Amino acid sequence: MRKKWMGLCLGLMLAIGLAACGTGNDANDNNNGGETGGETGGETATNDAEEIVKNNCISCHGDNLEGRNGPALAQIGSKLSKDEILDVIENGRDGMPGNIIQGDDAEKVAQWLSEKK
């Protein structure tokens, strides 16, 4: 019985230790990417925005922003300003929940989409 408890405790400590290590590495990678994006300028910000859209938006707006369940965004910049797009991202609209993207990422995506004309 004692060996079972020792094994269980050892396994639990190992699992907690590995989980903690994995989380720290992801956070550092995200922070470094964010700092680099701010320092290098437009091209990195555009790449960041495209990646953010790819990860969060294409399921509804399509791979090429042609629209699926949600409206087409391929030329949304000719209809809405950056601030209007940011408002939709933050507050939602017509079936789209708000805050799917937040903070600096929302700003980057709003800027990128506002240039789609």
pLDDT higher than threshold 60 for residue 32: no
Residues contacting residue 15 through CB under 8 Å, at least 6 positions apart: none
Give residue 21's pLDDT: 58
pLDDT higher than threshold 70 for residue 33: no
Q: pLDDT of 35-54, one tens digit each?
A: 444 444 556 666 799 999 99
Alpha carbon distance 101, 117 (integer Å): 22
Q: Which residue has the higher pLDDT, 5 or 75?
A: 75
- Three-state DSSP class for residue 67: coil
What is the CATH number that goes with domain 41-117?
1.10.760.10
For the chain, give every domain's residue range. Answer: 1-40, 41-117
> 96: which DSSP letter?
B
pLDDT higher than threshold 70 for residue 62: yes
pTM of full prediction above 0.85: no
